[in-house]
Amino acid sequence: MMSEIPRGFENVKEEDHRMADSELVRIGLIAELDAISLYEQLAAHAKDSLVKKVFLDIAREEKEHVGEFLELLKRLDPEQIDALEHGANEVREMEG
């Protein structure tokens, strides 16, 4: 479940920093998605209602972080905007 952070960023050339930043943001995005999954799974197994409530609240906070990372990614990688919209359109087409 938990993703590993890739190594090798110390060798990134100066002109490639924008690309490196977008990759760092993607790593952050992956970490947040992993956290959401973990907290929701833990909530599903919690016996105590307060424990369940806290896990779900934390998962919601992580979802906000996903939104922050997505906004950063769209600013750093304009191609991502088109890809997200294309994917959304495909879902709408499948919906009918």
36-81 confidence digits (pLDDT tens): 999 999 999 999 999 999 999 999 999 999 999 999 999 999 999 9
Q: How confident is the model at residue 13 (pLDDT cuts 50, 70, 90)?
A: low
Length of the chain: 96
> How many CB atoms are closer than 10 A to CB 3?
10
Asked whether residue 62 is assigned to any structural domain, the reply reads yes
Q: Are 29 and 14 in contact (CB under 8 A)?
A: no
Structural domain boundaries enclosing 48? 17-95
Asked whether residue 10 is assigned to any structural domain, the reply reads no
Asked whether residue 8 is assigned to any structural domain, the reply reads no
Asked whether residue 25 is assigned to any structural domain, the reply reads yes
> In the chain, how many domains are there?
1
Asked whether residue 88 is assigned to any structural domain, the reply reads yes
77: region left, alpha or beta (phi > 0 left; psi from -120 to 50 alpha): beta
Asked whether residue 5 is assigned to any structural domain, the reply reads no
- Angle ∠(5,59,34) on CA atoms, nearest 5: 25
Does the pLDDT value for residue 94 go beyond 70?
A: yes
Asked whether residue 42 is assigned to any structural domain, the reply reads yes
Return d(Cα 40, Cα 49) in angstroms, integer.
13
Asked whether residue 75 is assigned to any structural domain, the reply reads yes
